[in-house]
Amino acid sequence: RPIVESSAIFNSVEAETVPETTMHDVDEDKDSAAVNNRNPHNDSTCTLLLFYQYVEPPWSDAEYKKSLSKVERLAQQAQVTGRARVAKEGLNCTLTGTRDGILQFCRSLRRWQSVFLGTEFKLTHDLPVHTSRFHQLKIIPVQELVHY
């Protein structure tokens, strides 16, 4: 059964010191020991990450170009896949990867720019990899994060 957690796992400026077991099971009746003993390296499951973050003031043209390559580099280093919409006003991402890879990506964003310390990352763990994992990474340059 999938486990859902939010940015509460990153409740410290020094994200690396936050314990990795602060998860909340969707089914509250489950034994918490069973949740904490799950294998984070299970090849048959993946983690889904959803988030958006506006930056204020918006990135300049030069910062925007750097942001496009930085986000791609961080995602590749963490071996995550999915879609990252990048605009001068910020990021809007739907990504998948291993639990460790997704957490690495989130922490890397927070180390890169302090605006991401306030980002509400939504994570869903233990999804079946064969139906949930994106096959490739797409960094999508856009004019605005949300287009109506």
What is the Cα–Cα distance from 101 to 109, expressed in whole angstroms? Answer: 12
CA distance readout (Å), 91 to 33, 71, 148:
35, 9, 16
Residue type, position 33, single letter: A
What is the Cα–Cα distance from 30 to 6, expressed in whole angstroms? Answer: 19
Percent of the chain with pLDDT over 70: 74
Locate 60 and state its tokens.
């300049």
DSSP state of 60: P
List pLDDT tens digits, range 85-140: 999 999 999 999 999 999 999 999 999 999 999 999 999 999 998 888 899 999 99
